[in-house]
Amino acid sequence: MSTSERLIESTRELLWERGYVGTSPKAILERAGAGQGSMYHHFRGKPDLALAAIRRTADELCATAERVLAGPGTPFERIETYLLRERDVLRGCPIGRLTMDPDVIASDELRAPVDETITRIRQLIAKTVQEGQRQGQFAPELDGEEIGAAVLATIQGGYVLARASGSPAAFDAGVRGLLSLLTPRTSA
């Protein structure tokens, strides 16, 4: 792995663990096993490196959502698979966590990929709900954008509940509750 790749990957991990404010250039260099001038040779500084790391994480999260939500199964099954997919619940969301970082939120440049990721995933879920409506699986009065927002709120809130309790059970309970509300009803 090249030095710039090690710097990006180290920054991704540190942002997930510590947030932007808690991620120092020194910690990045130590984690990457890179020399003192390496970061400034490849990047303009911490904000530039953080942006590259955030974009890579955002791209991966969007690719995972696209793969699951456009994959096989009914629209409900795809949403269920997305909600139940493997996550490191006690670490939280590597993108959602950045919304609590004042320096990220204060920077239009750093906040943009965070907002774009959340928007893109919400749109993918909305599209899946609309497909389910056309197939008669979901009620026509459901609003796909609102369901997308509810799915994301459940996931992000589930991370908070799990981290607060120190147990993934709270995350799992939120997901099960949302799925019970979304489960297609069969006519009698």
pLDDT of 188 > 60? The answer is no
Residue tagged 């493997």 (tokens): 86
Q: How confident is the model at residue 37 (pLDDT cuts 50, 70, 90)?
A: confident
Q: How confident is the model at residue 27 (pLDDT cuts 50, 70, 90)?
A: very high
Q: Which of 88, 87, 82 is nearest to 147 (CA)?
A: 82
Average pLDDT over residues 116-131: 98
Domains, the chain, with CATH or none: 54-182 (1.10.357.10)
Q: How confident is the model at residue 160 (pLDDT cuts 50, 70, 90)?
A: very high
Q: How confident is the model at residue 124 (pLDDT cuts 50, 70, 90)?
A: very high
Tens of pLDDT, residues 109-121: 999 999 999 999 9
pLDDT of residue 36: 82
Q: What DSSP letter does each residue of 53-112 carry, written as one string?
A: HHHHHHHHHHHHHHHHHTSSS-HHHHHHHHHHS---GGG--TTGGGGG-HHHHH-HHHHH
